[in-house]
Structure 1
Amino acid sequence: MAPGYAENPLQRLIRERLRERGWSYGEVARRGGLPRSTVYTLATTRNLVRPPRPATIDALARGLDVPVSAVRAVAAESTGLHYYDEAQAGPDQAGNRERELLIASIDELSPEDRRHVAALVESLRNRSSGRPADR
Structure 2
Amino acid sequence: MNPLQQLIRDRMTERGWSYADVARRGGIPRSTVHHLATAEQLRRPPHSTTLEGLAEGLTIPVSVVREAAASAAGLAAWQESAIDPELKLLVAALTQLDADDRRHVLALVQSMLSTGRSN
| Length-normalised TM-score, structure 1 | 0.57
> Runs ≥4 in structure 1, deviation > 3 angstroms?
none
How far, CA to CA, are the matches of 1:48 and 1:79 in structure 2? 5
More moved, 74-83 vs 28-37: 74-83
Identity between Structure 1 and Structure 2 (%) = 57
User: Are residues 1:54 and 2:48 paired?
Assistant: yes
In the alignment of these two chains, the number of paired residues is 81
Q: What residue ranges of structure 2 are gaps of 5+ in the alignment?
A: 82-119
Unaligned segments of structure 1, at least 5 residues: 1-6, 85-102, 107-135
Letter matched to residue 62 of structure 2: V
Q: Which has the higher contact order (CA 8 A, sep 6+)?
A: 2
Following TM superposition, by how much is the alpha carbon of 1:82 offset from its aligned partner in structure 2, in angstroms? 2.2
Alignment partners' CA distance in 2, 1:47 and 1:66? 22
1: CA distance, partners of 2:74 / 2:58: 22
**SS across alignment from 2:56:** helix
RMSD of aligned C-alpha atoms? 1.7
Task: Give the counterpart letter for 1:40 in structure 2.
Answer: H
Per the TM alignment, residue 56 of structure 1 is displaced from its structure 2 partner at its CA by 0.2
Q: Does 1:39 align with 2:33?
A: yes
Higher Rg of the two aligned structures: 1
Q: Distance in 1 between matches of 2:29 and 2:65?
A: 17
Distance 2:23 2:8 in 1: 11
Alpha-carbon distance between aligned partners in 1 of 2:13 and 2:76, rounded to the nearest angstrom? 25
Question: Is 1:75 paired with 2:62?
Answer: no
